[in-house]
Structure 1
Amino acid sequence: MKLFLGLLFSFLYCFSPVISLNEDSQVLIRVKSDQLQDSNEKLSSWVPTTDQSPCNWTGITCEAKNQSVVGVNLSNLGISGGFPNGFCRIRTLRNLTLTNNSFIGTLSSHSQLSPCSHLQVLELANNLFIGDLPDLSRGFGNLEVLDLSENYFSGDIPASFGRFPALKMLNLAMNNLDGSIPSFLSNLSELTCLALAYNLFKPSPLPSSFGNLSKLEILFLANASLVGEIPDSIGKLVSLTILDLSTNYLSGKIPYTIAGLKSIMQIELYDNQLSGELPESLVNLTTLLNFDVSQNNLTGNLSQNIASMSFKSLNLNDNHFTGEIPETLALNPNLVQLKLFNNSFSGKLPGNLGKFSDLEDFDVSTNDFTGELPQFLCYRNRLQNLIIFKNRFSGKIPESYGECKSLSYVRMGNNKLSGEVSSKFWGLSHLEFLEMYNNNFNGPISPSISRARNLTHLLISGNNFIGQIPSVVCNLHQLEVIDMSKNRYSGEVPSCVTQLNNLKKLDLQQNMFTGELPGRFNLLTALTQLNLANNRFTGKIPPELGYLPVLTNLDLSNNILTGEIPVELTKLNLNQFNISNNRLDGTVPSGFDNQLFVSSLSGNPGLCSLDLKPLRPCPRTKPDTVYFASILAICAVLMLGTLLWFSKTKSDCISKPKRRWKVTTFQRVGFSEEDIFPHLREENIIGSGASGQVYRVKLKSGQTVAVKRLWGGKLKPETESVFKSETEILGRIRHGNIVKLLLCVSSEKFSILVFEYMENASLGDVLHRENGGACLLDWQTRLTIAQGTAKGLSYLHHDCVPAIVHRDVKSNNILLDAEMVPRVADFGLAKTLQREVGGVDGGDMSRVAGSYGYIAPEYAYSLKVNEKSDVYSFGVVLMELITGKRPNDDCFGENKDLVKWVSEVAISSPERKTTENGSSCCRDLRKLVDPRMQLSIRDYKEIDKVLDVAVLCTTSFPINRPSMRRVVELLKVKNHKLALPN
């Protein structure tokens, strides 16, 4: 009997793992079937087999000893669905990793995670989880790793997160947590990594109790709304290797106790409000390799002791440091990166810098350094970036720099450097960016520059370079910008320069170039700026210039050019145009025959015009008497017929005015005002506003235009102001995202503006049309509209001189063409900003400008207007694109607009909001976006990033809003990952 029982026990023992694996495989298959969406079939191996063992399935880890499933790792497999709590039925499971997928839903229900209490590792990073963090108050005592980063969790950190006795890593970075950073996290005595960076925490100090985390190795609290001073207790973290408190609001001095960080290797304190001098106790940090305290208010000198430390990276930029750089800094054998820019350092740099280390990145720009450049900066041929602009360096470029094969980025502008540049330096093969403007260099460009095949920018203006441009420059096909202005170059420009297909800017002004302008300019299809002013060019203006598709700036003034102005130039959409002070003759082409171009044409005595003063009038031929009489007779008959026709025809638009009207053409058009007038009838009205009505006019040629009529007898002052503003601004603007003004007609009785016609009306019409027009706008189309509109506004703010503020940015003023390309329109309230030296930007307004729901809050206390007012309005448009709601939708309730509603839903409160009419608005991103859009996971991630831009644009204080140029960059949304600092 005992023998039988023993054999039975042995049998059951041997086969129990088989039974267990059989159960585990069934659980896995059930979870795959019921809870996972595997569209890419990455789990195709999860199928029943004869041995029923899942140990060889994708993502499954088994313990070799007893053949039990201990790990499920589905990271980076593109799987979606809700949280698969079915995995937790595997009693031996210790590791559950689901990072970098598209899991959605909430974890706030305790039942979802309660079966997983036996886990040691739970990693859910980079998914789409929302709502509150889960309450893990019971049964998670074995948890060692908890990574919930890069999701959309909100609210507070639960108190249960301070009760994990075995937890070593807690990563909640990159979420929407908006409570305070709790001190109870200091109870996690085993913690080695704490990452709470990039959240929306309420401003709060760094808890001093964190100093009790004696085993902590990584403290990652960047962009976490930290305020106050760094607590002295920070020095108690003797095991800390990485301290990142960057991009916060920390103030005060760096505590002396920082010397207690005996194991520290990296300190990131940049972009705060720290002040005072660097503490001498830093010299005790013998393990410190990376030290970044840039963008603070730190002062004082860089002491001899601190400079002698073995930094690998030392970033002190954007502070108020003074004094000289100690020689001991050059003795550091580990120094790879040195950034001291934007300070007040002075004196000479240490002569041996770079001799004893593998220096790669060197930036001391915008200081007051003097003397010669250190000759050993590239001693070990590792230097890649050499940035020294805005100092007072003198002497020649050291010969050793010509041997620096690794050098790719050089900026030496605004110094006192002199002498000839060596042929070896010109020919550095890895050089991509070379800037040497405003120095005293002389001599020619060496033909060896042909070896710099990667060069994209050649910026050498404001020197004393001489000689001719070597033709080998034409071999540098990567060149995008050439600026050789304000030198002493002479001779002819090589004709092959037109073969540089990537060239965007060519500036050769203020030299002594001679000969004719190169032909075949039409090959430079990327060229946006061409400045050849103040030289000795002769011959005719090449007609090929008129075929450059993106040219916006053309300056050929102060040369000896002859012949007529090519009519092809009128095809260009130019912001700046100047051909003055040459020897041009002939009739001014009609496209330039208006007051906007008077100064651009002056100084050419041979030019004539029919109407444009002060240009001389073009001579008129004198017909013979019979011919003249015939013409008079024909004109009389035509006039009589016209008068009879007008007397019999009653039109509700325009009768022939008694006085002559003035016509100004801004674009090349194939029609006249006479073709417009008969169509200004009631049946053609497509819109109306405070200043007039808009008509859709289809001409005989087949072209359709939009006509805005300002009518009503003598124009009211405000209507006249609108007309003047639109004509002055739109008449000189050329941009693909700004509506084109074709011509205007004005008289004492009426005024009309003729625009290009936009087939899809306005963005407001399409978004809020009751018949479902927004269905035409999928997310990618909306994103493209946002990007195009941002580019148009950026052009107004940053590329127009003076800058232009629209003052009425709204969805109804963003027009859409047949391809849904946006055009910013309606400049009746626009205002130019004339900046004066020592003055302030912006101007006073006599009344609030803009539309309700789009108006920036600063109008409540100031009538100052600047570009940031447009940025706010554009942020509202972004919210409209995301939500599909009007700025003042009834859903929001009383005293609440779109900005307040989105701010509450996206940032502040995780709870459901119910309005008086019964509709509800909640925090869930899927409830926030326009339900008429069919969205992919990628779309949701892009929407989330664009929503961040919208919130940033609509912040209350103008100074905190980004510029429109920055908005353009922010809207280039890309998926990115957040990693712990390395």
Structure 2
Amino acid sequence: MYSSLKSPSQLTRWKSSGGDPCGDSWEGIKCSGSSVTEINLSGLGLTGSMGYQLSSLTSVTRFDLSSNNLKGDIPYQLPPNAVNIDLSQNDFTGGVPYSISQMTDLQYLKLGHNQLKNQLSDMFGKLSKLKELDLSYNSLSGNLPQSFKSLSSLKKLNLENNQFSGPINVLVDLPLTDLNVENNQFTGWIPKELENINLETGGNSWSSGAAPPPPPGAKHHANRHPTNNGDGKSVKGGVAIAGIAMGVLVVIGVIITLFSRRKSSPSSNFLDEEMISQRRSFSPLASQELSQDLRADITKGFKELKSLDRCASVDIKSLQKSPSIGPKHSPYDLKRSYDENEFANRLNARRSTSLRATSYSLPDLQLATVNFATGRLLGEGSIGRVYRAKYADGKVLAVKKIDSSLFQGARSAEFAEIVSNISKLHHPNFAELVGYCSEQGHNMLIYEYFRNGSLHEFLHMSDDYSKPLTWNTRVRIALGTARAVEYLHEVCSPSLLHKNIKSSNILLDTELNPHLSDCGLATFHQRTSQNLGVGYNAPECTKPSAYTLKSDVYSFGVVMLELLTGRMPLDSSKPRPEQCLVRWATPQLHDIDALGKMVDPALRGLYPPKSLSRFADIIALCVQSEPEFRPPMSEVVQALVRLVQRSSINMRDDLGDSRRMDDYDY
């Protein structure tokens, strides 16, 4: 943080490395024992940016950098247990970071008087303790998110001098005492429920006249008439919130939504296991899946993350003080051998999660895979083969049989650590570990099985009539995968490399949501001397040890290129200048005409041109040859979320650029 702030002299006693913030009484730091609990650097004339890795400040409850000259985006990660955050009166740009959605202790959030923009994500569902929210004097736009309804402790809300639009009905049931919504683009009627609070509403486009009564069955809120005095000052006359016209629109919207979902819900949307094996034609075509609106399609992608538990660090004591997830042992561990019971005991002793990985016996797995028959082989990678295990009760699992040569002797002890560490990784876009087997020299990891296979199969091994990947689906796959990598890089502590991001490691469930596999197996890739993924490796990766977080970002950019073009990273069947996807595509990513020619023909032109261009811009950032210029994954996630938000905002503009307006979702 000190370095990002350009090592200012006003931060007396601070050091860029070493030192004791508590014992040495650093400027603006308060402690409890040896834990930093407050960082108050308000009004010190600081410049630069805030830096990253602020999620390590787990004891900080007050974080105040207000009234400085700080620039850049607000970091995705902030002190996770903060009660009071004040970043007001700076020059911050970008959006409000989504990680705030997980800060359940937050009571005061002040981001006013900056240069923030974009829409607010639906990030407030868990912030029931928030008492004061100040977003004033920015350039935030769009409707107020529905999750504002969850702010059950909110007393003071400042939204003035932004570009918010739509109604403010979402605020009616909050315990507000002060509300300022002046100088925005709000419309509709001012709810009666807000009549007796300190209310500032001037400079908007409120509806005049009496509000019609609410539709039948709707929650009734008494009407009030506006007393628009025309001077842009406080309006405290009565106006109501719902109307017959709005009610009719809602009913029509519900009917359309239900009809659309009925059209898109049959099992033909999903790939059946037998369909894959028999290569039957698959319906619907790209143009037939368009009944699913993108905003509904990936709402869950940037609402609250379903299970974003903080990634537990490796237990330092149980892993002989290893600083990383890679296994390290004492000489005593290396000499011992373990039977199955001892293995299970070691595994359970290392676990710090309530989810237990199930122990599977070797005979059971042999039976379920027909003794690992070739016909059950799902794929083969650099660390082993993956087989489909099918049980009598219909349960199907994927079994990764790891090459025993990778353990170099200390198999059971080392494998226990690996299973323990992988079991700590939980994210809705991961392929979750469900079990393990370590018997008779065999070491296997058991995962949930995805009948739809991998993204690689969808993009490169299906004919044109069996691809259900519309543009919307491709954006959703990119966003979900980016969130998974972001979790490894910026939520886990210490950060974890994936080192093998490629389309064949992105598995698709029945709704075509992505699940990143091979998470937590970087220790194996560190040992393999072969290329870690032909066509996916960043230029700096001349050997496995050269891999960094930014190398993962590059590999993810290549996957995005696959989604955009439908091409493989390396394809010797193409003309020589087009064989390397990155080399061929990169010079064209900012050329609108060239971009239209390189997009996957399987899309049949059914995509919003502006959305395609923004998608290409993100790719260009990720696949830059210099790693220091590639963005962190949190910024990639935010850019993809902004792509979705802007596309939905500018729906008509995007559709207007196209010949077939009816074929678009947004």
- Normalising TM by the smaller chain, what interval? 0.3 to 0.5
TM-score by length of 1: 0.32
> Rg bigger for which structure?
1
Task: Point out the structure with the larger strand share.
Answer: 1
Task: Point out the structure with the larger helix share.
Answer: 2
TM-score by length of 2: 0.45
Higher relative contact order (CA 8 A, sep 6+): 2
